C-alpha cells in the first residue's frame, strides 16, 4: 500500500502586487485504493492544491510538506513526481502540436517505467482503452489535444491515466464542460482504472453529479484554502441540498 500525505500545506501564487496566499494549512492523507473527493466553491484553492502537487512553478509552497511513501515530493522535479507515481488530469489540457497521441503515450510510459513497453501488448491495451472510452481509432494519429473538443480532451486525460497506471491520480475538475454522455463515459474510465489497479484518487469537483458515477470513500470541503469539513459520501449529498453557504458564512 502507498500513502500520499499532505501536512499543513501553505501555498502562495505570484501576482502583480506580490505573493497571494491561497492554501492556508491543508492536511490530507490518501492511501492506495481510496477515492477522496475535494469539493468547494470557486476560488477556494482546489486547483491550487492540484498544481502544487504536480509541481507547477507558478505556485510557491511556503510551508508544510508532501510525502509519497515517506519520500519528500516537494524536493522532486515535475518529471520525478510523475516517475514516483503522481498523475494530474488537468482542468484545461494544453495542445502539443507535432506530437501524436500514440507517440506521446508511449514516450511517457517509457520515461516513467525506464523501459519501452512491449509493442504488441501496448498496441492491444491502447486499442482496448480507446474502445472503452468511445474514442475513434483515428484519434491515436492526431496531435495531442490539437483541435480536440472539450469531451475529447477529457477522455484523453483518462486514457493517459489508464495507460500510465499511476499510484495516485489527481483529477482537477475532470467533469467540467462534459455533457451527460461524456461524463458517464469518462466516469466509467476512471472506475475501470480504480478496479484494475491500486490507484488512489483525489477527485476535485464543484458539483456532486460526477459522484453519482464515482463513489468517494471520503469527502473534504475546502473553504478559503483550508479543509472546513470532512466526511463520507453523505457529506456530498448534504452539499447537493445545502450548497456552500453555511461554510462561507462561518468563515466571514
Is 111 exposed, middle or buried (CB count within 10 Å of its CB: 0-12, 13-18, 19+)? middle
User: 102 in helix, strand or coil?
Assistant: helix
User: 11 in helix, strand or coil?
Assistant: strand
Taking 90 as the threshold, does the pLDDT of residue 244 lie above it?
no
What's the mean pLDDT in 9-21? 91
DSSP codes, 124-143: HHHHHHHHHTT--GGGGGSE
Cell of 66: 508532501
Could you read off the pLDDT of 157-200 as tens digits, one per residue?
A: 999 999 999 999 999 999 988 999 999 999 999 999 999 999 99
What's the mean pLDDT in 33-54? 94
CB 39: neighbour CB atoms within 10 A?
24
**Strand partners of residue 37:** 203, 219
Could you read off the pLDDT of 122-134 as tens digits, one per residue?
A: 999 999 999 999 9
Taking 70 as the threshold, does the pLDDT of residue 251 lie above it?
no
pLDDT score of 43: 87
What's the mean pLDDT in 21-50? 95
| CA pair distance 50, 57, nearest whole angstrom | 12
pLDDT score of 51: 95
Give the pLDDT band (50/70/90) at residue 243: confident
pLDDT score of 81: 97
* Among candidate residues 123, 108, 216, the one with its CA nearest the CA of residue 161: 108
Which letter does DSSP use for residue 116 in this model? P
Give the chain's end-to-end CA distance (angstroms, integer).
Answer: 40
Could you read off the pLDDT of 218-230 as tens digits, one per residue?
A: 999 999 999 999 9
| CA pair distance 79, 211, nearest whole angstrom | 30
User: 192 in helix, strand or coil?
Assistant: helix
Contact 74, 66 (CB under 8 A): yes
Q: What is the average pLDDT value for the chain, to the nearest integer?
A: 93
pLDDT score of 7: 98
pLDDT score of 14: 85
Residue bearing the bigger pLDDT, 16 or 172:
172
Taking 80 as the threshold, does the pLDDT of residue 250 lie above it?
no
Q: Which helix (H) or strand (E) holds 206?
A: none
Amino acid at each position: 500500500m502507498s500513502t500520499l500525505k499532505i501536512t499543513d500545506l501553505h501555498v502562495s501564487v505570484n501576482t502583480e502586487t506580490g505573493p497571494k496566499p491561497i492554501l492556508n494549512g491543508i492536511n490530507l492523507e490518501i492511501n492506495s485504493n481510496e477515492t477522496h473527493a475535494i469539493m468547494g466553491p470557486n476560488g477556494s484553492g482546489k486547483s491550487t492544491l492540484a498544481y502544487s502537487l504536480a509541481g507547477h512553478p507558478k505556485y510557491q509552497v511556503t510551508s508544510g510538506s508532501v510525502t509519497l511513501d515517506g519520500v519528500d515530493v516537494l524536493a522532486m522535479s515535475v518529471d520525478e513526481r510523475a516517475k514516483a507515481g503522481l498523475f494530474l488530469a488537468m482542468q484545461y489540457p494544453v495542445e502539443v502540436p507535432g506530437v501524436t497521441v500514440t507517440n506521446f503515450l508511449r514516450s511517457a510510459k517509457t520515461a516513467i517505467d525506464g523501459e519501452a513497453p512491449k509493442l504488441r501488448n501496448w498496441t492491444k491495451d491502447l486499442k482496448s482503452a480507446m474502445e472503452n472510452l468511445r474514442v475513434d481509432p483515428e484519434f491515436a494519429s492526431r496531435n495531442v489535444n490539437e483541435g480536440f473538443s472539450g469531451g475529447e480532451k477529457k477522455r484523453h486525460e483518462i486514457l493517459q491515466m489508464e495507460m500510465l497506471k499511476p499510484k495516485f491520480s489527481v483529477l482537477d475538475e475532470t467533469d467540467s464542460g462534459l455533457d451527460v454522455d461524456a461524463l458517464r463515459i469518462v466516469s466509467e474510465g476512471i472506475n475501470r482504472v480504480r478496479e484494475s489497479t491500486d490507484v488512489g484518487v483525489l477527485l476535485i469537483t464543484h458539483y456532486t453529479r460526477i459522484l453519482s458515477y464515482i463513489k468517494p470513500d471520503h469527502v473534504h470541503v475546502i473553504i478559503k484554502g483550508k479543509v472546513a469539513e470532512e466526511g463520507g459520501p453523505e457529506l456530498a449529498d448534504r452539499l447537493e441540498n445545502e450548497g456552500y453557504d453555511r461554510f462561507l458564512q462561518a468563515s466571514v
